């Protein structure tokens, strides 16, 4: 297949926006796959801020990073991503090159603990302010579970209200799958004349 699958596509978008030495955010660290990937993408002089409300997610991610000797590039917060502005030092406000949200529940964990539209949208709004021009927010939306379908609807309504002068907003989704395909929403903060 020549079309990118959803997760490789999400990573490709991040790779276009992020270079070595950049500051990035993993808004839902979970088992740490994206955190590890981001820590490699930003290189030794970069910085990753990771958020998850579950202790087991933070611990699992910390272990993964230690195994790869990348723990020192990453600051992990056992806090909701809606706290990004408070948690990330002011020196990095306006300097964030990329942020990723992998929504839903922790794979292999408690399926009743899920991301919620109010806090997700709060975090996206704050991160859009904190991005540098040309920076990108990538959301992967899983809507096969009931709360996911609700979150999808709120998010779709919200992203369509983002001022086109502020950011480009894109949706990438396979349309003819038998079960609801996860999809990507990408929000790219505009440079002054892009
Ligand atoms: N990217 C992860 C990985 O590589 O394994 C998967 C993330 S998982 C689909 C979603 C995660 O979001 C769960 O671990 C859950 O605890 C977390 N979560 C739920 N609400 C949150 C919030 N308000 N802030 C940060 N994380 C949250």
Ligand 1 pocket mutation, candidates 106, 117, 121, criterion most atoms within 8 A of CB: 106
pLDDT average per 10 residues of sequence, the chain (194 residues): 96 98 98 98 98 97 98 98 98 97 93 96 98 98 93 98 97 93 97 73
pTM over 0.90, yes/no? yes
Element (H, E) at 135: strand 131-141
Structural domain contains residue 29? yes
Q: Is residue 70 part of a domain?
A: yes
Collapsed DSSP state (helix, strand, coil) of residue 159: helix
Sign of the torsion angle spanned by Cα atoms 138, 144, 148, 151: positive
- ipTM surpasses cut 0.95: yes
What number does the ligand 1 atom closest to the CA of 116 have? 20
Structural contact between residues 84 and 127, judged by C-beta atoms closer than 8 angstroms: yes
Alpha-carbon torsion 103, 104, 108, 110, what sign?
A: positive
Which residue do the tokens 């990329």 mark?
98
Which residues in 39-68 are b (16+ Cβ under 10 Å) and which e?
A: bebbeeebbbbbbbbbeebbebbbebbeee
Give the domain range for residue 141: 6-189
For residue 1, being part of any structural domain is answered with: no
Residue nearest to atom 27 of ligand 1 (CA): 52
Structural domain includes residue 92 = yes
Residue 194 lies in a domain: no
Tokens of 13: 């978008």
| The two structure tokens encoding residue 85 | 């502005």
Which atom number of ligand 1 is nearest to the Cα of residue 140?
9
134 within domain boundaries = yes
Task: Please report whether residue 138 resides in a domain.
Answer: yes
Pocket of ligand 1 (CB under 6 A): 27-28, 30-34, 51-54, 57, 80-82, 102, 104-106, 113, 115, 119
27 belongs to a structural domain: yes
How many domains does the structure of the chain reveal? 1
Span 71-126, pLDDT tens digits: 999 999 999 999 999 999 999 999 999 999 999 999 888 999 999 999 999 999 99
Question: What percentage of the chain reaches a pLDDT higher than 90?
Answer: 93
Output the domain CATH number for residue 15.
Answer: 3.40.50.150
């Amino acid at each position: 297949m020549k079309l990118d699958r959803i997760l490789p596509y999400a990573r490709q978008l991040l790779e276009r926006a992020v270079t070595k030495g950049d500051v990035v955010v993993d808004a839902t660290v979970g088992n740490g796959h994206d955190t590890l990937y981001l820590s490699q993408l930003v290189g030794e002089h970069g910085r990753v801020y990771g958020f998850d409300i579950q202790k087991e997610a933070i611990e699992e991610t910390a272990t993964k990073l230690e195994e790869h000797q990348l723990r020192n590039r990453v600051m992990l917060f056992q806090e909701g991503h809606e706290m990004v502005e408070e948690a990330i030092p002011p020196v990095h406000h306006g300097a964030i090159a990329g942020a990723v949200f992998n929504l839903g529940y922790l794979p292999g964990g408690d399926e009743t603990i899920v991301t919620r539209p109010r806090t997700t949208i709060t975090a996206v709004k704050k991160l859009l302010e904190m991005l540098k021009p040309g920076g990108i927010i990538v959301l992967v939306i899983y809507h096969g579970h009931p709360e996911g379908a609700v979150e999808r609807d709120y998010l779709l309504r919200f992203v369509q209200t983002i001022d086109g002068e502020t950011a480009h907003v894109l949706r990438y989704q396979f349309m003819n799958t038998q079960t609801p395909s996860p999809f990507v929403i990408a929000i790219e903060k505009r440079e002054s004349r892009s």
